[in-house]
Structure 1
């Protein structure tokens, strides 16, 4: 069951520009995932109500709501890209760091 969910979420993993995320930020649905976490693993934990993992990540600030400062920066850099994963009602995002 778990691996099915992981496979399903891996398939819907996508890339999006900041512009696309704005409406989701406005409805407070965006969750920013730290670079060291795997987006699909976080998605699986949220989708399967794995509360201990999710709470630990929140405590360690590895998953957060974007701050006003971050949103302001991204508004200036419209071409900014993110890896995205939709796990209703949330949109999990991870910054794609330009190398």
Structure 2
């Protein structure tokens, strides 16, 4: 595993929506589909791997939160997410274990 992947594994955090919503103001939140590995996505973003990232975006597995998601999360502020900071983005993924 690469050094950056190891670092991201250590940096993974579990947070709730209430803690994440402030990042909407700077349009930094990127939603990662549940089927993807958050660390793998973080590494691809950090290394500017356009092929992988564009493929995930085209497959609707990576992107900005949509209005129905935001409305749902606002109704459930304690909803848990896995979070990884990959400057300038905040990658989030639904945390089914949280």
Q: Which range, TM-score by smaller chain?
A: over 0.9
The aligned length equals 98
Matched residue, 1:88: 87
1:98, distance to aligned residue in structure 2 (A): 6.0
Structure 1 unpaired stretches of 5+: none
1:95, distance to aligned residue in structure 2 (A): 0.6
Deviating runs (4+, > 3 A) in structure 1? none
Q: Are positions 1:75 and 2:84 aligned together? A: no
TM-score, normalization by structure 2:
0.95
> C-alpha separation between the residues in 1 aligned to 2:25 and 2:15?
16
Structure 2 unpaired stretches of 5+: none
TM-score, normalization by structure 1:
0.94
Supply the RMSD in Å over aligned alpha carbons.
1.4
> C-alpha separation between the residues in 1 aligned to 2:61 and 2:47?
18
Matched residue, 2:56: 57
